[in-house]
Structure 1
Amino acid sequence: MRLWRLLLHLHLVVCVSLPAPSNVSISSFNMEHTLSFLPGLQTSSDTHFTVQILQFRRKNTWRPVAACLELTAGQTCNLTQVFKDPLNQYWARIRAFTPTQTSNWTVSERFKPLSDTVLGPPDVSVSGCGNCLLLQIRVPTTKLLKHLYRRVVLYVRRSRDGAQFSLSLPYKEENIISYLEPGVEYCVTVSVTSLINSNSVSSKPCCAFSSPPLSRSSLYVVFSLLGAFCALGILLVGLVVYGGQLSFKLLRQPLQRTLSYILLQCRNRESAPIVVYHEISALQQHKEGSADQQAGSATKELL
């Protein structure tokens, strides 16, 4: 009887002699949950690993994960489908086993899907709109993530001198960054936040000019048009000046003749009273002579 107990004790010791897994952790990115681990020291190559989970609302009820019953060293366990309730809390545990041996369980830390997941960087595109930037944000199409996003944090940096500022705006797929300097390049980095999650990864800087710069061909066209307008302006000014001088030359002779005529008339008017006076004097003398003759004739008739 004692021998049987000794053999049973030795069998149990041999069965749990495998080293337990270590560094068991649950990582989550955009609500995709993954369990990872490291095999214990001196774990043989034929060792496999099995995973179980526990919900906070169902304590002491560990359930096996069907997709993670026989993992090998280096593999991970996807827990996205078994962590169905994002508001619940979960634990996971893993142990090693062989056909003749098992290890102790190694339990992960408590995991809360909504608050522990990492919100990944959104896809960002930026285009200029004069003195502003038009920002387009695209996030994963998962309905839960769309409801999770509440605000976006924008970090705007001016490429010319490194001046920067930040904005916190309500989450929208399209935003406008106003009051920028026209024709200057800005780089925008975007991260998203939620009310219960502050774990987020910022996007890569996306750069654009507030007003798109002109290409070389466009600059050549602009300078050519400016040169043509300048030449046309100079030509018009020259024509106006030359036309004015020509008109003055053409009008100068008639003007001189008119002035001479006016001066001559003025002179004639000054001498006109003398001629009239002489004419009046001659007329009076003629009348007086006629009167004397009539008086003489009358005297003769009386006599």
Structure 2
Amino acid sequence: MMGLWIPLLLHLHLDFVLSVSPAAGVSLPPPLNVSITSFNMEHTLSFLPGPGTAADAHFRVHILRFRRKNSWKPVAGCLELTARQTCNLTRPFKDSLDQYKARVQAFTPSQVSSWTLSEQFHPVIDTVLGPPDVSVSGCGNCLVLQVRPPVARGLQQRQQLLDLYRELHCLVRRTRDGAQFSLNLPYEEESVISYLQPEVEYCVTVTVTTVFNPHAVPTKAHCAFTSPPPASSSVRVVLGLLFVFSLLGLLLVGFVVYGGQLTSKLPRQQHLPRILSYIPLQGQNPGGAQPEPLSQISASQTHGDATADSLPARHGPAGPRGGRPAEGEEDEGLPSSGSV
């Protein structure tokens, strides 16, 4: 705090000396091009040193409120500026409805210049309103418009911007054919632009309007569809084919799963062992004995390596004399030699 008061006391002492002898010590050239610029209620004073100004010269800034005439006040933080510095007047110009002037003076430890005054400045009229933050979204046959002031550095600046926002001038253009119209909406953070065509893209440009300020920068065009556009014919064909293939794949998987379950439920087939073919001789044995049925042949006789002893005789039933058939009997049904 003491560092801020020392330059102010030196300045008051120098003003007292100059008031006693105005002509003494005035040798530095006065500053040039003293001007105040403002963007979104942020005010900045700039100047240029006069030709021939000493390299070690500094500059101080005073402001005057018109409601308090003849009462110049030093601006804290702008009492020892260098040639390339600017002065922020946002906080000193706290009353946006008032009018102000500023003045700048160059000085060294032994010399001072005369004051150079700025033009009269009216914050609410002379500030330039930049584009607000805008977003657009569709709502069927309308657009939802969201508008917010740009980000401000302090609460005072934000409140002053909100006080200026009175109306929104909207330029609405249809992308398809370039047809456009304009409308004015009262400022709200969310507004609706109605009576638009569904499934059509529109672009909206917004400009903030006020009662006093004609300086406003429009936003860039923000575009959105009122509702999602219909899919093209090629996209629909591709989607249809994907659906058909997906359905066929599901059916195939279902058939495989169902077939596997059905197979698991069926009784397992009993596999019979291979049997050796046997063709019995026609006729009867002497004594009326019938040949042994095929079903009584044991599995051990039908599997494995069959020996000659385990096979039946290659000729018919034995005759009365053992082995050869009786006279007049024909050897029928006798298999050929080597066949079984």
Fold shared per TM-score above 0.5: yes
Letter in 2 for 1:129: C
Equivalent positions of 1:117-156 (< 5 A) are 117-140=127-150, 142-156=158-172
Distance 2:167 2:75 in 1: 35
Residues 45 and 223 of structure 1: CA distance in aligned 2, closer, same or farther (over 3 Å): same
- Give the Å deviation of 1:16: 2.4
What root-mean-square deviation, in Å, do the aligned CA atoms of Structure 1 and Structure 2 show? 2.8
* 1:82 matched residue in structure 2: 92
* 1:185 matched residue in structure 2: 201
Distance 1:162 1:42 in 2: 58
The answer as to 2:36 corresponding to 1:20 is no
SS of 2:120 mapped into structure 1? coil
Letter in 1 for 2:124: L
The answer as to 2:212 corresponding to 1:196 is yes
SS of 1:146 mapped into structure 2? helix
Distance 2:46 2:75 in 1: 14
Give TM-score, length-normalised by structure 1: 0.65
Residues 221 and 75 of structure 1: CA distance in aligned 2, closer, same or farther (over 3 Å): farther
Distance 1:226 1:175 in 2: 41
Distance 1:227 1:130 in 2: 28
Distance 2:85 2:143 in 1: 45
Query: Do the aligned partners of 2:96 and 2:160 also contact (CA within 8 Å) in 1?
Result: no
- Give the Å deviation of 1:109: 0.9
- Give the Å deviation of 1:81: 1.3
- Give the Å deviation of 1:215: 6.9
* 1:71 matched residue in structure 2: 81
Q: Which sits farther off after the overlay, 207-216 or 179-188?
A: 207-216
- Give the Å deviation of 1:163: 2.2
Aligned partner of 1:114 among 96, 116, 124 = 124
* 1:224 matched residue in structure 2: 240
Residues 64 and 176 of structure 1: CA distance in aligned 2, closer, same or farther (over 3 Å): same
Distance 1:226 1:133 in 2: 34
- Give the Å deviation of 1:177: 1.4
Distance 2:187 2:71 in 1: 40
Q: Deviations over 1:177-220 (max 9, x none)?
A: 1222322222111111122222211112111122233678x934
Distance 1:135 1:106 in 2: 47
Stretches of structure 2 that go unaligned for 5 or more consecutive residues are 1-20, 153-157, 245-340
Residues 68 and 221 of structure 1: CA distance in aligned 2, closer, same or farther (over 3 Å): farther
Aligned partner of 1:158 among 174, 188, 212 = 174
Distance 1:114 1:55 in 2: 14
* 2:101 matched residue in structure 1: 91
Identity %: 65
* 1:36 matched residue in structure 2: 46
Query: Do the aligned partners of 2:176 and 2:201 also contact (CA within 8 Å) in 1?
Result: yes
Residues 87 and 12 of structure 1: CA distance in aligned 2, closer, same or farther (over 3 Å): closer
Q: Which sits farther off after the overlay, 83-92 or 180-189?
A: 180-189
Higher relative contact order (CA 8 A, sep 6+): 1
- Give the Å deviation of 1:15: 3.1
- Give the Å deviation of 1:221: 7.5
Residues 139 and 12 of structure 1: CA distance in aligned 2, closer, same or farther (over 3 Å): closer
Instruction: Judging by fraction of residues, say which structure has more helix.
Output: 1
Aligned residue pair count: 218
The answer as to 2:112 corresponding to 1:102 is yes
Query: Do the aligned partners of 2:199 and 2:230 also contact (CA within 8 Å) in 1?
Result: no
* 1:281 matched residue in structure 2: none
